[in-house]
Homo-oligomer: A and B are copies of this chain.
């Protein structure tokens, strides 16, 4: 049983890697592929399409999560596992938390991605820094006024929480 589980996991990871490699060979985008699995079945796949779809957010995992949400008709992927050819960047890791992914399996590490000039490791450093020390300047403005949108949320009995 344990061996079967482990073979299944390897099959999903090999699929994610194959998607990544094929994405490069077909000149469709960066070397990243991901699959989302639920109950032993692939429910969605994604590849990096930043350049193909002109979308800075179109990483393999983001695309796979969006596809899984659409395929399963839900914005909460409880019970789903993410297999990705490379450790998720902070954008994709946080997306996994928002989507309530249950477990993450990755092939390459962020530091491997750094060796081929991707910024993943740099981004992990940036996000762990205090706001004022980060590379992109961040400035707070009109904080009191901004609360009005949260107050509207509190006051809305019809809100759908997520």
Q: Which chain A residues have a beta carbon within 8 Å of chain B's beta carbons?
A: 9-10, 13-14, 17, 20-21, 23-25, 27, 29-33, 50-51, 54-57, 59, 62, 65-66, 69-70, 73-77, 83, 85-87, 89-109, 112-113, 115-117, 119, 123-124, 126-128, 135-143, 145-150, 152-154, 156, 158-162
Contact = CB atoms under 8 A, between A and B. Distances in A.
A135 B91 contact: no
B24 A103 contact: no
Copy tally for this chain in the complex stands at 2
Contact of A152 (B24, B106, B123, B127): B24
A123 B94 contact: yes
A141 B75 contact: no
Contact of A17 (B56, B65, B123, B142): B142
Nearest to A134: B93
A116 B154 contact: yes
Contact of A99 (B21, B57, B141): B57
Given A24-B159, A55-B69, A69-B56, A149 B85 contact: yes
8 contacts: A56-B65, A91-B95, A94-B94, A96-B136, A105-B140, A107-B140, A108-B147, A108-B149
Given A24-B156, A56-B66, 11 more contacts: A27-B158, A27-B160, A56-B69, A56-B75, A56-B95, A57-B62, A90-B90, A90-B91, A91-B95, A105-B138, A112-B143
